[in-house]
């Protein structure tokens, strides 16, 4: 009788073993794959990115808190370019800098004569892409019509990165588009920046600073400085 009511034992599986199993067995790739905190780091190899590309039903991949850097972004760029199903890529709290952001931006830029990459949401919050990384991402936004959200929260993009974003805002963002640039070390007293001109460009793009309606630009200092 005791066997009828015995509980199934839970076994702890090391993260590196989870990763190996994921790579070896395509059936483990579900609609949403959460690898938060697995500390993948240099294990994000060509074999791993190929498995991501070949997964047919995976829509979201969460690689937050994995120690990923610029080299790993080269592999993720392949995924962005080639995956037909992955729409949300979450890279929060990693070690991505300027070069990594540039690699991702290049992958997000549609090639001539080809359709846009299928990715709709890119989360880069709490990395270190800086102004040059933000500039690269903003350039991709000028021609990518598939993205619906780009999260650059807390990336130290500074005034120069924000200025690059404002200079490339286009007038036809989807109404549900969100660009999050909060907590990025802005200096609103910097007189070298023409804040009113930046505000003009934001208004021309029809993007909404505070997110009440239409496309949204979260965290823009003009939302608090200019009226």
Average confidence (pLDDT) over 98-115: 95
Report the distance separating Cα 79 and Cα 89, nearest Å: 10
Range of lowest pLDDT (14-28, 52-66, 114-128, 177-191): 14-28
pLDDT of residue 7: 56
Are 155 and 128 in contact by the 8 Å Cβ rule? The answer is yes
Rounded average pLDDT over 45-49? 91
- What is the rounded distance in angstroms from the CA atom of residue 170 to the CA atom of residue 162? 15
Over residues 162-187, mean pLDDT: 94
What is the mean predicted confidence (pLDDT) over 20-33?
A: 85
Closest alpha carbon to 156 in 200, 178, 186, 136 = 186
- Percent above pLDDT 70 for the chain: 91
Higher per-residue confidence, 13 vs 71: 71
Whether the pLDDT of residue 138 is over 80: the answer is: yes
Q: What pLDDT was estimated at residue 16?
A: 59
Higher pLDDT residue, 144 or 20?
144
The pLDDT score that the predictor gives to residue 13 is: 41
| Residue 99 banded pLDDT, cuts 50, 70, 90 | very high
Stretch 54-60: mean pLDDT: 93
Long-range contacts of 195-204 (CB under 8 A, 24+ apart): 195/221, 195/222, 195/225, 195/226, 196/226, 198/162, 198/163, 198/166, 198/222, 199/226, 201/166, 201/167, 201/169, 202/166, 202/169, 204/169, 204/171
Provide the Cα torsion 36, 38, 42, 48; round to 10°.
-70
Helix (H) or strand (E) holding 24: helix 15-24
* DSSP code at position 8: P
């Amino acid at each position: 009788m005791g066997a009828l009511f015995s509980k199934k034992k839970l076994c702890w599986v090391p993260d590196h073993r989870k990763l190996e199993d994921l790579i070896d067995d395509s059936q483990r790739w579900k609609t949403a794959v959460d690898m938060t905190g697995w500390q993948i780091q240099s294990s994000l190899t060509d074999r791993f990115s190929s498995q991501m590309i070949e997964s047919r039903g995976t829509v979201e991949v969460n690689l937050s808190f994995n120690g990923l850097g610029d080299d790993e972004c080269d592999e993720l760029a392949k995924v962005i370019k080639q995956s037909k199903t992955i729409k949300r890529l979450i890279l929060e709290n990693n070690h991505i800098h300027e070069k990594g952001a540039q690699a991702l931006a290049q992958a997000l830029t549609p090639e001539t004569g080809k359709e846009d990459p299928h990715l709709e949401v890119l989360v880069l919050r709490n990395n270190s892409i800086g102004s040059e990384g933000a500039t690269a991402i903003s350039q991709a936004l000028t021609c990518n019509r598939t993205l619906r959200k780009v999260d650059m929260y807390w990336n130290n993009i500074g005034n120069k990165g924000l200025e690059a974003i404002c200079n490339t805002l286009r007038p036809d963002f989807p109404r549900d588009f969100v660009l999050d640039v909060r907590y990025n070390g802005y200096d609103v007293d910097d007189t070298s920046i023409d804040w009113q001109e930046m505000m003009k460009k934001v208004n021309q793009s029809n993007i909404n600073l505070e997110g009440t309606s239409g496309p949204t630009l979260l965290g823009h200092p003009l939302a608090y400085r200019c009226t």
